[in-house]
Chains A and B, each alone.
Chain A
Amino acid sequence: MKVAFTLNGTVAEWEGVPVTRLAAALRDDLGCTGTKIGCDAGDCGACTVLLDGRQVCSCLVAMGQVEGRTVETVEGLALPEMLAALQASFLAHGAAQCGICTPGMLIAAEELVRRTVKPTRAEVEDFLGGVLCRCTGYSKIVDAVMAVTSPVREADPAAGEAVGARLSRVDGIAKVTGKDAFGADAIPADALWIRVVRSPHARARFTLGDLGPLRKRLAAVLTAADVPFNGFGIYPDIKDQPVLADGLVRYRGEAVVALVGARAEVPAIRDEDVPIVWTPEPPLLGIDAATAPDAPLVQADRPRNLLLEGGVKRGDADAAFADCAAVSEGVFETAFVEHAYIEPEAGWAERVGDRIEIHVTTQTPYMDRDEVANVMQLRPEAVRIVPTACGGGFGGKLDLSVQPLIGIAAWKLGRPVACVYTRPESMAASTKRHPARVTAKFGCDAQGKLVACDVRATFDTGAYASWGPTVANRVPVHAMGPYAVPNVRTWGEAFFTNGPPAGAFRGFGVPQAAIAHEAMMDELADATGIDRLEFRHRNALRVGDTTATGQVLAHSAGLAQCLDALRPAWHEAQEKAAAFNAAGGPHRRGVGVGCMWYGIGNTSMSNPSRMRVGLSPTGALTLYNGAVDIGQGSNTIMVQIAADAVGLPAAQFALVAGDTDLTTDAGKTSASRQTFVSGRAAEKAGQDLRQQILRLANAGPDARLSLEGAMLAVRDGTEVRTLDLATVGPLMGEGVFDPPTTPLDADGQGVPYATYAFAAQMAEVEVDIELGTVKVLRIVAAHDVGKAINPTLVEGQIQGGVAQGLGLALMEEYLPGRTENLHDYLIPTVGDVPAIECILIEDREPLGPSGAKGVGEPGLVPTAPAILGAVHHATGVRTYRVPLLPHRLREGIVQLKGKTP
């Protein structure tokens, strides 16, 4: 069928199958890949376009319905050579992080600003309510829309003034124009496609029947037999997850068979058309099933289903509890939580001679390279990873997804091969946050000084190890909270089950533990009659204190400053809540506070970054940056740091990012490490280049540089020397940084991290005590970040973390087979996340670039504790199980009253 319509103001003609989704036609046939697909089900709004001026999900519109109508996409917003006001406002406010929801957000906002250029917050929420964002916490998006008529474009910082400036994202224009290419956006037209057939059972044996007929229809049907080394995993010694299962599946969603064929062919083959004979077995679901005495094993070589255990011991906790004036105990449980990045896993691979090139959305190109090489039994140098723009990761794109399958298929077939997960597939196949059971006991003296703690954190690590060891290691170090406690016993343990593999998710288990230790702080504060904030202030780790692992904090421990900064809002909020509650009615307000600390980088393990800054004979100044920007802004941060280290304006930098052929290994984007570790490497690289320049110019350390074309002027006092780069030749500065740590001994003693971030957040909530619903009214977040390299980006990280913490506390629970979509699995919408005020504390860390530490994960950790503390303040109900869904809170309220009020 031929369809004629108006696309972004010009006549468009399209021919194809009329039930084709508008989103697919725009992306695949009309070149408008700015329209993103996040779910194909109307749940996420990433594909929002205007149809006759009204926003619709283009995944729900048939091309046959578009005849004669007007379609507007993100590509139609910008004026020639100029951003539209809305785009400029998004850019200036930092409203785009990863950018995957940005086109949908812009279009949804466009419908509103055509009606009114001065919208209210309520109007903005109504118009944006159908677009999910997982990165920003919506704050800066709402700000950007409300301020569309008053753009706040700051001037580009001068040389030496980039660090600390609110520089717009260096990759921001691509994100607000829809030009940024994500994993599914630049797949070659001649690529074959993969559809993976996955297990519908949590635990089953299976046999494959005759695949011959399918193989005749398709380019290839891959099974375990096609995988040269059929095991992958994060740790060099734990390659326990098969690329394609071999006769046995251990979780629902596990990959079994890969169908490779023309794009339209592979979805036409249904799972039931693939001859697989299943013999389901009773699955082990949950920690109790996995640890039962007679439990069958999930992995034959893992006795007791145990992945890992270990702890930290200092002083004598048992003896110390006896002398405590107050002791509090509790058992806290959390669920599987889904990353719900709006961009599903996607990528394509191509064989180039005897090398394989993989273009993929990832957080970790160098680990991907090594892992793909191992699976394919190639040398690492034979694998090139080219990261595409990454539409959100949060830890979920640290594991392999499409990489090995597209690599193997492209290698075998000699043609480009692509794979893009559907939303249900992404949710079923990918890793999750570990469900935890945290048993906590804390004691303090009569003055409210903590004396002892005993915390055991037990994790459901799912079917495969993934990042389970990282979680089980990190949590014992953090489980006492950011407090000085002389007598500590903590224990972390992780057990295999037939749940989805639990892996890395923003915070690596620390958010689960924080729910426990912060509830304990509240209870001890109440027991000793001390204000909850002041109790924490009294116990806060400070510079000079010794941590439970025996590490003396020499610098940068700003928790007390964070609490000081919260105090005025804390008192004001309590007064407001008391006044509100005095009026009676079914709503009660409460205020809560949560604190956290977070070790930056790997736990007691080397995690170096290497960065380069080049200056070419033509005067091209380039940062070669192997750190992947997954939306958090590291591309911009690295440029800012490198620019000041060199002494040239950030605007003069070009960026080469991620590509393993063109950059050096800057480690993975995880553990809040990029600003601290890679940033320090970028600083050193910039300093190295600067030293080379100063030597060439025979200039002193304070010389000022300026670059025009190939001419580099070096002003030293009154003297100016000009270097002609064409004759000097290429210059390359290099920097390496590996944060100093030591291994932990059997009692967990040592230096697990070189530095720690600290934070305290405050939440105000309103609880509907009759319905058990919770509305978060306000969050104030005070974070010690060492130094805010770019305050806008730092705030964006905090606000986005807060929104995920809110989801963890109140609504997110992944249930395999039941919540594998974005309408049954709920993440916060723009209507759920309140205004989030950020207070940046800068207690300088001498090891970090310009004193900076990390902030990626810390934003999330204290939020759930603060919200749950506020709910307790409002209702008296202590939360022992998250998410605190309305029926659970209502049950708690009823139990507390002993009867229905």
Chain B
Amino acid sequence: MGDYLRPRDLDEALQALTRPCTVLAGGTDFYPARVGRSVTEDVLDIAGIAALRGISETPTGWRLGATTTWSELVEAELPSLFDGLKQAGREVGGRQIQNAGTLAGNICNASPAADGVPPLLALDAEVEITSLAGNRSLALAAFITGVRKTALRPGELVTAIHVPRTQHAARAGFVKLGARRYLVISIAMASAVLEVADGKVAAARVAVGACSPVAQRLPALEAALIGMAFDKSLSNRVEATHLAPLSPIDDVRGSAAYRSEAVLTLLRRLLSGLVP
């Protein structure tokens, strides 16, 4: 039987991290990995640290506390910039999972099919990492380094996710493809944030999940969207060559060829869905 520590403040948690332990927050990935097994490792439960929870506005944007749950995000009053992330939040598991699962848990678990990652990539999210040595910040794309792998070093804890304010009014969305409704691991998903100025796309960030080891932005598509009129014709800009960063695989949920094709459809629908 390992130790269990449930600190109330961050310093205590960081102190505990000086030796190896498993971080527990919402439990929605921790326990499923331990079905029928005794928990023997040391556990650091960060869910009781008030400073890690909740959403606040900052001079540059928004700070999403690490242990903010999906339900808290969905119910928070946030600008339309967050619509895609909220839509993703409604698709994470069922309500039980949304009530327990945390934003930072979703990125730290680093599943290729993590529903939160494409919308956070589209939000240009930065990961706030804290250790006894201090803070550092990493772009989300640099934070997740592979399947179930992150750039987190020993002694470090993800303490928040930062979303920068956009220059222009933003529209955001998320679409998910699965073989059933609710509680389903995505076959593919896509999320986008478009900034609109003078009726034209001023900035575009588009990301796709479950089609590569780590969800990917699609820079070529983003470039193709910039300067285009913000109307339904945006969906016509999507081309197969834009998918170059993806490397879909065959698995029980779908074939690689299907994923490549389905993603094009998802992206077209996503973009046309952003236009009222």
Residue positions of A touching B, CB distance < 8 A: 1, 17-19, 21, 39-43, 45, 48, 51, 54-57, 59-62, 64-65, 67, 108, 111, 125-127, 129-132, 195, 264, 267-268, 270, 422-425, 586, 770-773, 810-811, 813, 815, 818-819, 821, 823-824, 826, 828-832, 885-887, 890-891, 900
**Contact call B31/A21, Cβ cutoff below 8 A:** yes
The answer to whether A17 and B183 have CB atoms under 8 Å apart is no
Q: Which residues of chain B are within 8 angstroms of A823 by Cβ–Cβ distance?
A: 32, 183, 185
A832 / chain B contacts, CB cutoff of 8 Å: 180-181
Further contacts, 10 of them, CB under 8 A, given A17-B4, A45-B94: A18-B6, A18-B45, A19-B4, A56-B100, A60-B97, A62-B43, A65-B48, A130-B95, A810-B179, A887-B258
Compute how far the CA of A62 lies from the CA of B22 in the bound complex, rounded to whole angstroms: 13
Shortest Cβ gap from A546 to chain B (Å)? 43
| In the assembled complex, B227 has its CB within 8 A of some CB on chain A | no
Q: Which of A40, A65, A829, A890 contacts B183 (CB 8 A)?
A: A829
- Interfacial residues of chain B within 34-54, with CB under 8 A of chain A in the complex: 35-40, 43, 45, 47-48
A130 touching B181 in the complex, CB below 8 Å, given contacts A17-B1, A886-B187, A886-B254: no
Contact A831–B180 (Cβ < 8 Å): yes
Known: A55-B99, A127-B95, A885-B254. A830 touches B182 (CB 8 A): yes
Contact of B96 among A42, A425, A773, A821 (CB under 8 A): A42
Given contacts A18-B6, A57-B96, A129-B94, contact A41 B182 (CB under 8 A): no
Query: Would you call A826 and B100 a contact (CB within 8 A)?
Result: no
Q: Which of B28, B177, B180, B265 has most A Cβ within 10 Å? A: B180
**Roughly how many angstroms separate A17 CA and B45 CA in the complex, as a whole number?**
13
Q: Does B135 contact A (CB under 8 A)?
A: no
Q: What are 21 residue pairs bridging A and B, where the CB atoms are less than 8 Å apart in the complex? A: A40-B36, A42-B97, A51-B99, A56-B100, A57-B97, A60-B31, A60-B100, A62-B4, A62-B24, A108-B95, A125-B182, A130-B183, A424-B36, A771-B262, A772-B262, A815-B252, A819-B252, A829-B181, A830-B181, A831-B181, A886-B258
The reply to whether A425 and B95 form a contact with Cβ atoms under 8 Å apart is no
B95:A19 contact, CB within 8 angstroms: no
A886→B177 contact, CB < 8 A: yes
Question: With contacts A43-B183, A771-B265 known, is A56 near B177, CB below 8 A?
Answer: no
Identify which of B47, B97, B253 gathers the most chain A CB atoms within 10 Å of its CB.
Answer: B97
A17-B1, A56-B96, A130-B94 given; A890·B180 CB < 8 A: no
In this complex, what residue of A is CB-closest to B2?
A: A19
- Also in contact, A65 and B6, with CB within 8 A (given A41-B35, A267-B36, A772-B258): yes
Q: Which residues of A contact B1 (CB under 8 A)?
A: 17
Residue B18, interface by CB 8 Å? no
Which of B28, B47, B182 counts the most chain A CB atoms within 10 A?
B182
B134 vs chain A, min Cβ distance (A):
28
Looking at the assembled complex, report how far the CB atom of A782 sits from the nearest CB atom of chain B, in whole angstroms: 27
The CA-CA distance from A239 to B179 in the complex, in Å, is 39
What's the nearest-Cβ distance from chain A to residue B78, in Å?
20
B 243-276 to A, binary, CB cutoff 8 A, 1 in contact else 0: 0000000001111011101100110000000000
* Minimum distance in angstroms from A455 CB to a CB of chain B: 30
Provided the pairs A57-B100, A885-B179 are in contact, do residues A268 and B95 lie with their beta carbons within 8 angstroms? no
**Residues A811 and B252 in contact, CB atoms below 8 Å apart:** no
Known: A18-B4, A64-B4, A811-B179. A887 touches B93 (CB 8 A): no
Question: Chain A's nearest CB lies how many Å from the CB of B105?
Answer: 11
Bound-state Cα–Cα, A428 to B254, Å: 22
Q: Mark B155-182, 1 if CB is under 8 A from A, else 0.
A: 0000000000000000000000101111
B27 close to A (CB within 8 Å):
yes
Instruction: Give the CA-CA distance A771 to B47 in the complex, in Å.
Output: 39
Q: What are the nearest 4 A-B pairs in CB distance?
A: A130-B94, A831-B181, A129-B182, A887-B258
Q: Is B26 among interface residues, defined by CB-CB distance under 8 A?
A: yes
Chain B residues within an 8 Å CB radius of A18: 4, 6, 45
Alpha-carbon gap, A453 to B195, bound state (A)? 63
Instruction: Provide the residues of chain A in CB contact with B183, threshold 8 Å.
Output: 43, 129-130, 132, 823, 829
Does B184 make an interface contact (CB < 8 A)? yes
- Minimum C-beta distance from B159 to chain A (A): 19
A420 to chain B, nearest CB (A): 10
Q: Which residues of B have CB within 8 Å of A64?
A: 4, 6, 45
Q: Which residues of B contact A21 (CB under 8 A)?
A: 31
Interface residues in chain B, defined as those with a beta carbon under 8 Å from any beta carbon in chain A: 1-2, 4, 6, 24, 26-28, 30-32, 35-40, 43, 45, 47-48, 71, 93-97, 99-100, 177, 179-185, 187, 252-255, 257-259, 261-262, 265-266
- Expressed in whole angstroms, the Cα–Cα distance for A1 and B97 within the complex equals 26
Q: A62-B24, A830-B182, A886-B187 are in contact. Are A425 and B36 (CB under 8 A)?
A: yes
Question: What is the CA–CA distance of A55 and B258 in the complex, to the nearest angstrom?
Answer: 36
Nearest CB of chain B from residue A3's CB, rounded to whole Å? 10
> CA A826 – CA B31 in complex, angstroms?
20
**B48 shortest CB reach to chain A, Å:** 7
CB distance A828 to B262 under 8 Å?
Answer: no
Chain A hits for B257, CB < 8 A: 887
CB distance from A335 to the nearest CB of B (A): 11
* B96 vs chain A, min Cβ distance (A): 5
- Taken together as a complex, chains A and B put the C-alpha atoms of A132 and B38 apart, in Å, by 26
A504 CB, nearest partner CB in chain B, Å:
25
Specify which chain B residues have a CB less than 8 angstroms from the CB of A126 in the assembled complex: 95
Query: What residues on A are CB-neighbors of B36 within 8 Å?
Result: 40, 195, 267, 422, 424-425
The docked-state distance in angstroms from the alpha carbon of A51 to that of B6 is 18
Residue on A nearest B94 in the bound complex, by CB: A130
**A371 CB to nearest B CB, Å:** 26
- The answer, among A195, A268, A422, A829, for a CB contact under 8 Å with B182, is A829
Which residue on B lies nearest to A19, using beta carbons? B39
Given A42-B31, A62-B27, A130-B96, check contact A811 B180 (CB 8 Å): yes
Task: Tell me whether B252 and A42 are in contact (CB under 8 A).
Answer: no
Q: Tell which of B47, B99, B266 has the most Cβ of chain A within 10 Å.
A: B99
User: Contact between B95 and A129 (Cβ–Cβ < 8 Å)?
Assistant: yes
Contacts of B37 in A (CB 8 A): 267, 270
Question: Residue of A at shortest CB range from B69?
Answer: A54
Measured CA separation A45–B254 after assembly (Å): 26
Residues on A with C-beta less than 8 A from B40 are 268
Q: Name the distance in Å between B195's Cβ and chain A's nearest Cβ.
A: 28
A770 touches B45 (CB 8 A): no
In the bound complex, CA of A891 to CA of B255 (Å) = 10
Task: Give the docked Cα–Cα distance between A773 and B175 (Å).
Answer: 14
Q: Which residues of the partner chain B approach A130 to less than 8 Å between Cβ atoms?
A: 93-97, 182-183
Find out whether the CB atom of A48 lies under 8 angstroms from the CB atom of B255: no
Instruction: Return the chain A residue nearest B4 by Cβ.
Output: A18
A195 to B35, CA, bound (A): 13
Query: Which residues of chain B come closer than 8 Å to A810, judged between CB atoms?
Result: 179
- Closest Cβ of chain B to A272, distance in Å, is 12
Q: Which residues of B contact A818 (CB under 8 A)?
A: 252
Residue of B nearest to A49 (CB): B96
C-alpha spacing A31/B28, complex, angstroms: 25
A1 contact set on B, CB distance < 8 A: 4
| A60 shortest CB reach to chain B, Å | 4
Instruction: Give the Cβ gap from A893 to chain B, nearest Cβ, in Å.
Output: 11
Bound CA–CA A268/B36 (angstroms): 9
Among A125, A131, A824, the residue within 8 A (CB) of B185 is A824
- The CA-CA distance from A54 to B31 in the complex, in Å, is 19
Q: Are B254 and A62 in contact (CB under 8 A)?
A: no
The interface residues of chain B lying within 8 Å CB-to-CB of A125 are 181-182
In the bound assembly, the distance between CA atoms of A353 and B184 in angstroms comes to 51
A470 to chain B, nearest CB (A): 29
Enumerate chain A residues within 8 angstroms of B187, measured Cβ to Cβ. Answer: 886-887
A111 to B38, CA, bound (A): 32
A900 touches B261 (CB 8 A): yes
A828 to B27, CA, bound (A): 25
Tell which of B4, B38, B258, B266 touches A891, judged by Cβ atoms closer than 8 Å. B258
Partner of B252, one of A39, A55, A67, A824: A824
Q: In the complex, A57→B93 CA distance in Å? A: 11
Q: Which residue of A lies closest to B185 (CB)?
A: A823
